[in-house]
Structure 1
Amino acid sequence: MLSILPPSGKNVINTIPPELLAEIFLKLLQDDDRDLHESTRPLVSRACHSDPLLFGHVCSYWRGVALQTPQLWSRICILKPQKSQVLLTELWLKRAGTHALDLSIWATTSDAVDESAAGKIVSLFLQRRQYWKSVSFVITSPILKRLSDSNLSEESLQILQSASIWLSRERQESLDSEVALENVWKAIHACKTLTYVDWRTFYRHSLPNHCPWAQLTGITLSSTLDFSRLVNILTMAPKLKFLQAHSICASLPEDLIACSAITHHYLEVLDMALKNEAGHLFRLLTLPALQILKIRNGFQKNCLRDIHAFQGFLERSQAEPLTKFELSDLLIHEDDVQSYLRTQGLQKLTSLTLCARITDATLALLAQTDGAGRHEILPSLQYLSLSTGDLVQAADGMLSKMIVSRRQGNLKKVSFATRGMGPIDQSTLRRLREQGLDGEKKPGFI
């Protein structure tokens, strides 16, 4: 309970109870839609454009509340470390006190990074390692060595839950860097509170034998996995709720034959980039808790999509309705796109992101309604993102006609690049935004 009493006076901002004012401050520090790419001061996060230091500039009352709210200072993000950030980082850490810390640093090999400043900031972070709750470090080899030499241990990382540590651009080519990063991950994996890891490409040859698989709820990795290794991860991590794999390829036939089908009861989010058609993988998986599915097909050549395997996977996995589906597939036939959209397991979607070549036929399908005016395909859709421009080869007006149709239903937000749109679509979509339709404010979008 904060003990600050507002001063007597008629200024409304000085009469807000301190507990409520602290909640307002925290609300103002929520993430925005756009990431920042550089800053000369510490940030709350890459996506937060507000600064807790500003609260103290309004009046002494606000400053007192801000100083006695450690949570305001407990998230620190450093982009391109510079000398100007060192003292401010020390100040934020002091004000955070014993509150659990969410720390990130992006120290790449670019010229904008001051290696000395980066080292000092990491040293400040290390002094508070017992309060680390989440760390995300994109670092160079000298900074990694500082981490490795700091004797990280289960005892010093008492509350660590989430860790993402990787070398930027260097690709772990140095043997010394390989050893140093392995030592850091070995210490992190020993934490009994650890639930999420982001290895990127580090464990690209084999999975770590010291990983606490049984306690993990989230994994991100960029090293290439075949279908059988992905299934093995799901088998070893029975509590997993989130899995993001940036490179998945087909297994050798003998490995696939030896791989057993699996039902994983907790996985809610599956995000995968595929190098091969995934019909064999979908036949192995049953995911009854799945709510979000993201598929990026990066095939080097066109091939038939095994829609039946995908539909069978969803049919087996429908204990919980899938609410969000993202498909990026530049070589897919439009007939297959429509087969995806008609899939029974997708009909309760509230969010659809589609990056594929589509024409009037797919737009007409999305606009199609029954006699009662209810959309026959994806009737609950609230968010829709379609890549346009060269990917949409439709008559001018068809895109906006579909949006107008959806606007009469549940649609609340859209995202479309304007490149390639005709004047009818552009003017209609602009009018819809003026009428309150939410459109993402990104360059090139309505």
Structure 2
Amino acid sequence: MDASTSTPNLSLVSDCSSFSLEDASNTSISTNLGVDTFILEPLPSSINDLLNSNEAPLQSQVLQASLHGAETMLSDLNRHLEQMKAEVALFTAKRNQLITMVDSYRNVLHPIRRTPPEVLLEIFSYGVQSVDTDYPEIYQQVNSLDTNLAPWTFGQVCKHWRSIVLGCPRLWSSLSLDLSRIEHANPAKEQEVEYKAVSLLSHYLRRSKDCPLTIAVRSTRPMHPIVSLICAHSSRWSDVLLSLPAEGFRLLSTIKGCLPKLKTLHLRNTGSLENIWNAIPVIDAFEYAPSLYMIRAYEIPKIATKLLLPWAQITHCMNNFPNGEVLYRDTLNRENIEVLSKGVKLRHATLLCSGYGPSLSITPLTHHFLAGLTIDLIRRSNPDLLIQLLDALTLPSLVSLRISVSSKHRVRPNVDPIVRFLERSNCTLIKLRLKGFKTNVEENSSFRSLLYLIQNSMEILCLENFPNSLLNAFTVTEDESPLLPRLRHLRVSGSCSPEMNQLLFVKMVESRVKYTKFKALVTSSQFVLTNPEARNRLDLLDNKCHPTSP
């Protein structure tokens, strides 16, 4: 807006004549009229006396004259009040007009109109619910085809914003769909909903242009029109989570060889874990994916044999059964060895041990690249399966080890197989997380042997259980060499057991802070100190290590 056009409009605000009433000529309002103009005499005492009785007045003519005068004054006052109400209404209307004008000027002068498009895009990016394939449960809460959510809503504000949003494919590069939301009992209604969804998805994908896509799709049907449309853009897949029944994965063979940008692949089975996996052929859709480096499988058995993958280039692999239901338990360790054998460049692997009886025999394996290993022994599985797997592995490059034994096991196993495994591997272990194991350090205990084995390398230790013997061993004195001198982070994953000496626990932490390079203590929400002194000392220690900024 230039100065030549703004001056006349501004005069409306500054010119007093703009406040004149259009119908002022039709009214005669005395602006000097006040309350004092109407002088009211108090009622005579005789009137008050007569009001308290039924007697007739003696001077009725005088009272009639007083009544007439009061009625005349009331009529004048009412007339003046009506005129004043009309004036107030007119001024109120003018006031509302001015409020609208002020809002208009403020809107026109708002800094958002001068905000560069690149800044707006940065702001918009925080308003879009991006897909995080690492958390498969959360993505189901996001519906990318809901036009009442961003980025759709950004384009509905104004023409300028719409052009910016439509010109940024990055805002349309994250897609999350739970197709069970568009299922309907009425076939005609379902077809109508599907048609609308396909139309919206076409717009969405077109707006993403050539941008790499992050996709999370869940369907209980083997094939769906939405899945087919997404598969047509497989050349742009980058980070993908597909939750499909077994037959649905097999039908994806049409995208074989069309995955040049696929980097991370998350596959989740939404069907039954019955022997249908034995019946279906090998899934070859992902056999050729030159950029693929990570595979995560949920509820999918035999990933090394049922999935044709470019194993030689994969560096991260996770095989997980969140619900704990696993088929082919007797061959699971053999499957674990197969994964490590095929994944010659694996750097991180998550494996599963499950079963009630003995496993089939497995071949010992040495893997020279694996740096991180996670093993879960689920439900009430036989601990011998974990022993069998550890006894078969040699991992000289291992720096991070996480082993979890389900709480369903009533007796905590000892760490003897872990000690043998680490001795054989001769690795430099920096991170260790153990859950469900015995951690007492009495003389000749296997856990004491484990601690001495990692004495000069351990920096991050996470344990579920801290018996008092372990607290004493971890407590540092001025004249003794500390156990695990390089330990910087200690994490407690379990609750505070009744047997644990809470003051001893705090004393141990205090000593580590004072005499070593200890940096942080991280506790779970279940770990609550009930001893007031212990709690206060730990709070003081936390404030000392992490002072609040002024």
Q: Could you state the TM-score of these two structures normalised by the residue count of structure 2?
A: 0.58
Query: How do 1:124-143 and structure 2 match up within 5 A?
Result: 124-140=229-245
- Identify if the C-alpha distance between structure 1 residues 15 and 206 changes in structure 2 by more than 3 Å, giving closer, same or farther: closer
Q: Does 1:399 align with 2:505?
A: yes
- Identify if the C-alpha distance between structure 1 residues 386 and 216 changes in structure 2 by more than 3 Å, giving closer, same or farther: closer
Q: Which residue of 1 aligns with 2:524?
A: 416
Q: Does 1:242 align with 2:337?
A: no
Whole-Å Cα distance in 1 between the matches of residues 310 and 234 of structure 2? Answer: 20
* 1:96 maps to which of 201, 205, 208: 208
Q: How big is the shift at 1:240?
A: 1.7
Q: Which residue of 2 aligns with 1:441?
A: none
Whole-Å Cα distance in 2 between the matches of residues 157 and 233 of structure 1? Answer: 22
Q: Does 1:158 align with 2:260?
A: yes
Q: How big is the shift at 1:73?
A: 3.5
Q: How big is the shift at 1:360?
A: 2.4
Whole-Å Cα distance in 2 between the matches of residues 67 and 340 of structure 1? Answer: 62
Q: Does 1:364 align with 2:463?
A: no
Question: What whole-Å deviation, never above 9, does each CA across 1:26-58 have from its counterpart, x for those lacking one?
Answer: 899797999747525339xxxxxx976788799
Q: How big is the shift at 1:398?
A: 3.2
Q: How big is the shift at 1:77?
A: 3.5
* 1:322 maps to which of 429, 443, 451: 429
Q: How big is the shift at 1:387?
A: 1.0
Code of the aligned partner of 2:395: L
Q: Which residue of 2 aligns with 1:220?
A: 318
Q: How many residues align?
A: 403
Q: Which residue of 1 aligns with 2:372?
A: 269
Question: What whole-Å deviation, never above 9, does each CA across 1:144-168 have from its counterpart, x for those lacking one?
Answer: 54x6445523233333333332323
Q: Which residue of 1 aligns with 2:293?
A: 195
Question: What whole-Å deviation, never above 9, does each CA across 1:211-243 have from its counterpart, x for those lacking one?
Answer: 543333233224545545433432332112222
Code of the aligned partner of 1:203: P
Whole-Å Cα distance in 2 between the matches of residues 55 and 397 of structure 1? Answer: 56
Code of the aligned partner of 2:529: M
Q: How big is the shift at 1:272?
A: 0.9
**Which protein shows a greater Rg?**
2
Secondary structure of residue in 2 paired with 1:272:
strand
Whole-Å Cα distance in 2 between the matches of residues 190 and 353 of structure 1? Answer: 39
* 1:345 maps to which of 451, 454, 461: 454
Higher helix share: 2
Whole-Å Cα distance in 1 between the matches of residues 301 and 356 of structure 2? Answer: 19
Higher strand share: 1
Whole-Å Cα distance in 2 between the matches of residues 66 and 436 of structure 1? Answer: 45
Secondary structure of residue in 1 paired with 2:454:
helix
- Identify if the C-alpha distance between structure 1 residues 59 and 330 changes in structure 2 by more than 3 Å, giving closer, same or farther: farther
Whole-Å Cα distance in 2 between the matches of residues 249 and 387 of structure 1? Answer: 25
Secondary structure of residue in 2 paired with 1:310:
helix
Instruction: Say if 1:39 and 1:80, in contact at 8 Å, map to a contact too.
Output: no
Q: Could you state the TM-score of these two structures normalised by the residue count of structure 1?
A: 0.69
Q: How big is the shift at 1:292?
A: 1.9
Secondary structure of residue in 2 paired with 1:189:
coil
Q: How big is the shift at 1:249?
A: 6.1
* 2:274 maps to which of 149, 170, 173: 173
Q: How big is the shift at 1:129?
A: 1.5
Q: How big is the shift at 1:23?
A: 10
* 2:118 maps to which of 18, 25, 37: 18
Q: Which residue of 1 aligns with 2:181?
A: 82
Instruction: Say if 1:338 and 1:362, in contact at 8 Å, map to a contact too.
Output: no
Q: How big is the shift at 1:414?
A: 0.8
Instruction: Say if 1:227 and 1:281, in contact at 8 Å, map to a contact too.
Output: yes
Secondary structure of residue in 1 paired with 2:383:
coil
> Structure 1: any 5+ residue segments left out of the alignment?
1-8, 44-49, 109-114, 439-446
* 2:463 maps to which of 354, 370, 379: 354
Secondary structure of residue in 2 paired with 1:255:
coil
- Identify if the C-alpha distance between structure 1 residues 375 and 157 changes in structure 2 by more than 3 Å, giving closer, same or farther: same
RMSD: 4.8
Code of the aligned partner of 1:98: D
Instruction: Say if 2:173 and 2:214, in contact at 8 Å, map to a contact too.
Output: yes
Q: Which residue of 2 aligns with 1:291?
A: 399
Instruction: Say if 1:311 and 1:343, in contact at 8 Å, map to a contact too.
Output: no
Secondary structure of residue in 1 paired with 2:368:
coil
- Identify if the C-alpha distance between structure 1 residues 149 and 383 changes in structure 2 by more than 3 Å, giving closer, same or farther: same
Moved more, 32-41 or 362-371: 32-41
Secondary structure of residue in 2 paired with 1:311:
helix
Instruction: Say if 1:77 and 1:103, in contact at 8 Å, map to a contact too.
Output: yes
Whole-Å Cα distance in 2 between the matches of residues 432 and 57 of structure 1? Answer: 52
Instruction: Say if 1:413 and 1:437, in contact at 8 Å, map to a contact too.
Output: no
- Identify if the C-alpha distance between structure 1 residues 193 and 384 changes in structure 2 by more than 3 Å, giving closer, same or farther: same
Q: How big is the shift at 1:362?
A: 1.8
- Identify if the C-alpha distance between structure 1 residues 171 and 149 changes in structure 2 by more than 3 Å, giving closer, same or farther: closer
- Identify if the C-alpha distance between structure 1 residues 400 and 125 changes in structure 2 by more than 3 Å, giving closer, same or farther: farther
- Identify if the C-alpha distance between structure 1 residues 92 and 186 changes in structure 2 by more than 3 Å, giving closer, same or farther: same
- Identify if the C-alpha distance between structure 1 residues 253 and 135 changes in structure 2 by more than 3 Å, giving closer, same or farther: closer
Whole-Å Cα distance in 2 between the matches of residues 33 and 404 of structure 1? Answer: 36
Q: How big is the shift at 1:342?
A: 1.5
- Identify if the C-alpha distance between structure 1 residues 377 and 14 changes in structure 2 by more than 3 Å, giving closer, same or farther: farther
Secondary structure of residue in 2 paired with 1:244:
strand
Moved more, 395-404 or 245-254: 245-254
